Amino acid sequence: MPELRRGPIRNQWVIIAPDRAKRPSDYDARAAEPDEQEPIHCPFCSGNETMTPPEIARTNGSDGRWQVRVVPNKFPALQDYAELSRDGVEGGFDRMNGEGAHEVVIETPDHNRELPDLPAEQVKRVIDMYIARLSGLMQNPRLRHIVLFKNHGKEAGASLLHPHSQIIAVPIVPRDVRDVLRIAKEYYKRRERCLFCDVMLGEMRNGERIIDETDGYAAWAPYDSRFPFEVLISPQAHCCDFTQLTEEQRWGLARTLKRTLQRLRNLLGDIPYNLILQTSPNPTEQPGKPEHWKTLQYDYHWRIEILPRLTRVAGFEWGTGSYVNPIPPERAAEYLREAPVSDLD
């Protein structure tokens, strides 16, 4: 059974998920055999629905066939419990049961078409499903934070080729998220402005690191990029909660995301990457900590990070928390601005 553990030195929660150890691919460095990734064996392909756990949600097309499906992860990092239990362990350690949710969003029935290949309408369907699932999970007050991410490529952590994303909801607000929330709150308290808006407006005025600035979104290479060709996408209109997007903003994001991923692929090839949604924690007030969520609508700003996996995180990075990036973000942005983009319809 999964559980969460926290030690007094690093002060960071870790998910211990023994059920996931049943996947040989977690330990086998060899690539999967080609026939194991063919549509006939793929649990995410149309016609193979019985190979997944019972679905949670789906979006159908005009022909009645599914276009997006959501299913529980077959090897979940967390799962639902009747109640959330917390206790201390000798030595100053904390522990709680592995309360949470772990879902897979199957982005298309087509085995070989990734987000940059799909029509904007299909990317919009995926975004609609993201919003529906995040909104649904937020109804559970025990789930304090939800992470939506996409691992593309084996080096980025994907074990199946079929295009999919994952959602993990946890009963904590992770330390790195709390640190950013604190910084944003303190900045707003001093200046009565959103830190993220100020950074974005500064990038748009400077222009040196801007990649794209259309459809109500800005995409740029962050000043302190950790990885070569790292990209940040942010709505130009202030918004703390991804689930609050209007219909127009969803369409704008679909086109921006498709265009950005096309630039990366057309410039660098089919590289592995991680895509991460950074949105506000569950705004439901928590007992004993009512002040945490009072100012989110003013001082927080959701965004999407795209992290190409072109360099390895090794001893120096693990030992210091600092990264070595061999490509200046100004040069990366220049290359990406010039990268071709195909039809967005």
Per-residue confidence band for 142, with pLDDT thresholds at 50, 70 and 90: confident
Nearest to 219 by CA among 244, 245, 200, 240: 200
Amino acid 317: pLDDT? 85
Q: What average pLDDT score do residues 199-219 get?
A: 96
| Tens-place pLDDT, residues 35-69 | 457 888 899 999 999 999 999 999 999 899 999 99
Give the CA distances from residue 82 to residues 38, 99, 150, 154, 247, in Å, rounded to whole numbers and listed in that order: 39, 9, 29, 35, 36
Cβ-contact 225, 325 below 8 angstroms: yes
DSSP letter for each residue of 190-254: HHSS-HHHHHHHHHHHH-SSEEEEETTEEEE--TT-SSTT-EEEEESS--S-GGG--HHHHHHHH
Identify any residues that bridge with 60 across adjacent strands, giving them in sequence order.
Answer: 66
Inter-residue contact 266 to 259 (CB < 8 Å) = no
Give the pLDDT score at 342.
Answer: 83
pLDDT at 333: 96
The whole-angstrom separation of Cα 332 and Cα 231 is 9
**pLDDT for the residue 35:** 46
According to DSSP, residue 79 is labeled: B
| Chain mean pLDDT for the chain | 87
Question: Confidence band (pLDDT; 50, 70, 90) for 32?
Answer: very low
Say if CB 154 and CB 264 are below 8 A apart.
Answer: no
Alpha helix segments (H runs only) across the chain: 120-137, 175-191, 195-206, 247-268, 296-299, 315-320, 329-338
With 60 as the cut, is the pLDDT of residue 33 above it? no
Most confident of 37-41, 258-262, 309-313, 324-328: 258-262
Residue 274 has pLDDT above 50, yes or no: yes
What average pLDDT does the segment 262-281 reach? 96
pLDDT, tens digit (0-9, with 9 covering 90-100), for 98-117: 778 899 999 999 999 999 99
Of the candidate ranges 94-108, 237-251, 287-301, the one whose mean pLDDT is the lowest = 287-301
What was the pLDDT predicted at 90? 63
> Given pLDDT bands bounded at 50, 70 and 90, which one contains residue 292?
low
CA distance 67 to 58: 7
Parse the chain into domains and list their residue ranges: 3-338
- pLDDT level of residue 29 (50, 70, 90 thresholds): very low
- Please give the positions annotated as active site: 164
pLDDT in tens, 60-100: 998 999 999 999 998 887 677 656 666 666 667 877 777 78
Is CATH 1.10.10.10 the right assignment for the domain spanning 3-338? no
